[in-house]
Amino acid sequence: MALKILDDLVDFIGHQHAIELLRAWGGRRLKVPTEIGQDHPLAMTIGLDSAKVMATYYGGTELYLPAERNFLIDLRNAAIVAKFKGGSSITKLSEDFGVSRRHVHTILDALGQGENRKARVATRT
């Protein structure tokens, strides 16, 4: 669920504003008003235009925003999966992202790539 919200935020307000939003409001619930003025804390954090976009999509709702650290980990994990799908080896992924080979396995398994990972290992033997 959190990844969907993060994907939407990046699509709606851009990567940089999404990070700024998480730095300021991450780890908490944020009530998004239906109308936002330039003196609203949300507008002061990400700019009036991006705040208005958020009001358009999320106005009247309460969002749980994950902590920035979690967002960055989600981005890293998504990048690991994308590179794996693109043909990168477990060893290469481990080196590129500074995590153990075992952790790459865990990430791939958690994000639905366990069978693909096992199939790739089976074809090498």
Structure confidence by residue, pLDDT tens digits, 85-96: 999 999 999 999
Are 75 and 62 members of one domain?
A: no
Q: How high is the pLDDT of residue 79?
A: 85
Of 2-11, 13-22, 58-67, minimum mean pLDDT range: 2-11
Q: Would the pTM count as exceeding 0.75?
A: no
- Residue 59 and residue 13 share a domain: yes
Percent of the chain with pLDDT over 70: 94
User: Which DSSP string corresponds to the chain?
Assistant: -HHHHHHHHHHHH-HHHHHHHHHHHTTEEEEEPSS--TTSHHHHHH-HHHHHHHHHHHTTEEEEEPPHHHHHHHHHHHHHHHHHHTT--HHHHHHHHT--HHHHHHHHHHTT-HHHHHHHHHHH-
Of the three residues 66, 87, 102, the one that is the final residue of a domain is: 66
The confidence band for 1, taking pLDDT boundaries of 50, 70 and 90, is: very low
Measure the CA–CA gap between 44 and 106, rounded to whole angstroms: 39
Q: Do residue 6 and residue 61 come from a single domain?
A: yes
**80 and 34 in a common domain:** no
Domain that holds residue 27: 2-66
Q: At what angle do helices 90-97 and 101-110 cross, to 10 degrees?
A: 100
- Summarised one tens digit per residue, pLDDT across range 44-75 is 999 999 999 999 999 999 998 888 787 778 87
Q: What is the mean pLDDT of the chain?
A: 88
